[in-house]
């Protein structure tokens, strides 16, 4: 069989149905697909590759799936103070900074986000719904070669009596349908639009219903923020008489193509509803720790896992990009919080960043694991590094010892987008220079202070 690429000799963490780990393994790629996988002694004799890559020093994994990332937030990383409560951080700092970006600045931010993800082994992502300049950002992301589901900023609730609620809802619904029709994803396109809602209390029931109907119609999904802080359940209880998940269930907008991010302040009844409806939950452990959400104090993520809720992982804001750090965090946080070392073992944490993400994106037949017929989205982790040697337990060391700095090579759709620690689709030096200049401009004109605990001269 003639193939484009043969990677031979690697230790392969397949994440397939049997969760096989293949030592001295081989993967053959033709076009955008894996056409053979197994022991090198079985695969190599039956393929005729244009290129053979010596994989003996590498651990191979599927490309990771970052299920919640603000790709337009990278230009303000490190700028937000740590001591803000949730509402002040969002409405005084984050939202005004988002809205002040020009279209070109959003494109620069998105390129930097894609570079950060690809260089650390993330090949697919679900955007957090804060893109404003949809068309240029979509094109900027498309040029990088990354796989993703994106959407424009969508909120419609009229909090002021002088706002026209019906007009705001109609505008948001037309926006969602327009981007879904222009950027469809039901046929497996690498980049496509989803109806992405801001969530919290910013979306009316009408917009929730409309977004869910559009997702069902277009074979897409809905994602939204919910309950990182007590303010969300407090608002829903005051305005609907029910907690957020109870209310969303009542209006019929939960289900397997719905993914809710953060979900820290939920009760046991809400966990049961999530499990019953098949709704996915995206945990962003790094954001929860930095924001002081209370994930380890009150979060019910172990209970969600036990109930069968599909748990995903995200990095959230611009301060974080390496999903491997999130994998390690979720493997450890609840062990310590509950004094129970059996919670979220390494293999379960790894599933959250691979097969679970693929399931929530409705792409289990294409990504999330390495198998014949799947997309050739894969990562080579360099084991000739101090964090990898000696190599004794590949799953444990992948989660507890390694991080994205050891990612040597990455393929998306069979295309090598990272080679020898460098992105092949992005001019890295240009992006870094543009990002610094744009960030200096954004933060300067924001009028917000550049705070530091220590003097900077």
Query: What pLDDT is attached to residue 99?
Result: 84
pLDDT band (50, 70, 90) for residue 125: very high
What is the overall mean pLDDT for the chain? 96
User: Rounded to the nearest 5 degrees, what angle is found at the Cα of 61, between the Cα atoms of 60 and 64?
Assistant: 145
d(CA 218, CA 257): 11
d(CA 164, CA 109): 33
Question: What residue ranges do the domains of the chain occupy?
Answer: 2-63+367-423, 72-360
Q: Give me the CATH code for the 72-360 domain, please.
A: 3.20.20.140
- Residues sharing a CB contact under 8 Å with residue 212, sequence separation 6 or more, in sequence order: 222, 252, 253, 255, 258
Query: What pLDDT is attached to residue 321?
Result: 87
**Is residue 300 scored above 90 in pLDDT?**
yes
User: Which residue reads 């930097």 in tokens?
Assistant: 112
Query: What digits encode the pLDDT tens for the residues 337-384?
Result: 999 999 999 999 999 999 999 999 999 999 999 999 999 999 999 999
Averaged pLDDT, 142-158: 96
Lowest mean pLDDT among 148-152, 364-368, 376-380, 452-456: 452-456
Instruction: Count CB atoms within 10 A of the CB of residue 195.
Output: 29
pLDDT band (50, 70, 90) for residue 116: very high
Query: What pLDDT is attached to residue 440?
Result: 95
DSSP H helical segments within 192-315, as ranges? 205-218, 231-240, 244-250, 268-277, 285-291, 295-298, 301-307
- Residues sharing a CB contact under 8 Å with residue 281, sequence separation 6 or more, in sequence order: 259, 260, 261, 263, 274, 301, 304, 309, 310, 311, 312
CATH class of 2-63+367-423: mainly beta
User: What are residue 125's DSSP bridge partners?
Assistant: 66, 148
Burial per residue of 412-441, b for 16 or more beta-carbon CB atoms within 10 angstroms, e otherwise: bbbbbbbeeeebebbeeeebeebbeebbee
Give DSSP secondary structure letters for 294-314: -HHHH--HHHHHHHT--EEE-
* 316: three-class secondary structure by DSSP: strand
Per the CB < 8 A criterion, the answer to whether 70 and 317 are in contact is yes
d(CA 326, CA 368): 17
The closest alpha carbon to 200, from 149, 159, 168, belongs to 159
Q: Strand 48-54 vs strand 58-62: parallel, antiparallel, or unpaired?
A: unpaired
* 36: three-class secondary structure by DSSP: strand
Query: What digits encode the pLDDT tens for the residues 234-280?
Result: 999 999 999 999 999 999 999 999 999 999 999 999 999 999 999 99
User: Rounded to the nearest 5 degrees, what angle is found at the Cα of 323, between the Cα atoms of 186 and 354?
Assistant: 45
d(CA 6, CA 27): 6
**Is residue 318 scored above 80 in pLDDT?**
no
Q: How far, in Å, are 12, 36, 44, 91, 219 from residue 41 at the CA level?
A: 14, 12, 6, 58, 41
- Residues sharing a CB contact under 8 Å with residue 8, sequence separation 6 or more, in sequence order: 26, 40, 43, 44, 52, 53, 54, 55, 56
Q: In this structure, what DSSP letter does residue 375 have?
A: B
Burial per residue of 263-289, b for 16 or more beta-carbon CB atoms within 10 angstroms, e otherwise: bbbbeeebbebbbebbbbbbbbbbbbe
d(CA 61, CA 407): 10
d(CA 270, CA 245): 6
The closest alpha carbon to 279, from 304, 300, 296, belongs to 304
**pTM of the full predicted structure?**
0.97
- Evaluated on CA atoms 441, 443, 448, 449, the torsion sign reads negative
d(CA 25, CA 13): 10
Query: What digits encode the pLDDT tens for the residues 397-436?
Result: 999 999 999 999 999 999 999 999 999 999 999 999 999 9
Query: What pLDDT is attached to residue 86?
Result: 81
d(CA 332, CA 313): 14
Query: What pLDDT is attached to residue 284?
Result: 98
Averaged pLDDT, 192-217: 97
pLDDT band (50, 70, 90) for residue 115: very high
Query: What digits encode the pLDDT tens for the residues 60-86?
Result: 999 999 999 999 999 999 888 888 888
Burial class (CB in 10 A: 0-12, 13-18, 19+), 337: middle
Per the CB < 8 A criterion, the answer to whether 158 and 136 are in contact is no
């Amino acid at each position: 069989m003639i193939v484009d690429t043969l990677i031979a000799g690697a230790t392969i963490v397949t994440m397939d149905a049997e969760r096989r780990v293949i030592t001295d393994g081989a993967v053959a790629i033709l076009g955008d697909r894996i056409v053979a996988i197994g022991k090198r002694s079985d695969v190599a004799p039956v393929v005729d590759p244009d290129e053979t890559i010596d994989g003996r020093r590498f651990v191979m994994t599927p490309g990771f799936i970052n299920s919640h990332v603000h790709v337009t937030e990278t230009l303000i990383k490190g700028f937000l103070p740590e001591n803000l409560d949730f509402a002040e951080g969002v409405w005084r700092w984050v939202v005004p900074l988002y809205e002040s970006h020009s279209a070109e600045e959003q494109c620069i931010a998105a390129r930097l986000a894609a570079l950060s993800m690809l260089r650390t082994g993330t090949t697919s992502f679900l955007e957090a719904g804060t893109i404003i300049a949809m068309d240029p950002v979509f094109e900027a992301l498309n040029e990088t070669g990354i796989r993703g589901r994106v959407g424009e900023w969508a909120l419609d609730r009229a909090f002021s009596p002088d706002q026209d609620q019906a007009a705001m809802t109609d505008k948001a619904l037309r926006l969602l349908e327009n981007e879904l029709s222009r950027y469809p994803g039901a046929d497996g396109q690498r980049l496509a639009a989803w109806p992405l809602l801001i969530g919290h209390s910013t979306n009316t029931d009408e917009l929730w219903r409309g977004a869910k109907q559009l997702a069902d119609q277009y074979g897409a999904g809905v994602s939204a923020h919910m309950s990182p802080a007590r303010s969300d359940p407090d608002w829903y209880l005051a305005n609907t008489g029910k907690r957020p998940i109870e209310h969303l269930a009542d209006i019929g907008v939960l289900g397997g193509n719905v993914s809710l991010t953060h979900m820290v302040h939920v009760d046991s009844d809400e966990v049961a509803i999530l499990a019953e409806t098949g709704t996915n939950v995206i945990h962003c452990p790094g954001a929860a720790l930095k924001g002081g959400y209370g994930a380890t104090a009150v979060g019910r993520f172990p209970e969600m896992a036990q109930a069968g809720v599909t748990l995903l992982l995200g990095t959230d804001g611009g301060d974080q990009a390496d999903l491997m750090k999130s994998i390690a965090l979720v493997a450890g946080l609840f062990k310590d919080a509950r004094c129970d070392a059996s919670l979220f073992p390494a293999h379960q944490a790894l599933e959250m960043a691979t097969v679970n993400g693929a399931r929530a994106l409705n792409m289990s037949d294409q990504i999330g694991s390495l198998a014949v017929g799947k997309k050739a989205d894969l990562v080579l982790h360099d084991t000739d590094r101090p964090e990898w040697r000696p190599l004794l337990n590949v799953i444990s060391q992948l989660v507890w010892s390694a991080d994205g700095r050891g990612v040597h090579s990455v393929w998306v759709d069979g295309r090598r987008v990272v080679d020898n620690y460098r992105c092949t689709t992005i001019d890295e030096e240009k992006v870094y220079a543009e990002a610094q200049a744009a960030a200096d401009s954004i933060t300067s004109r924001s009028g917000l202070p550049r705070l530091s605990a220590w003097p900077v001269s």
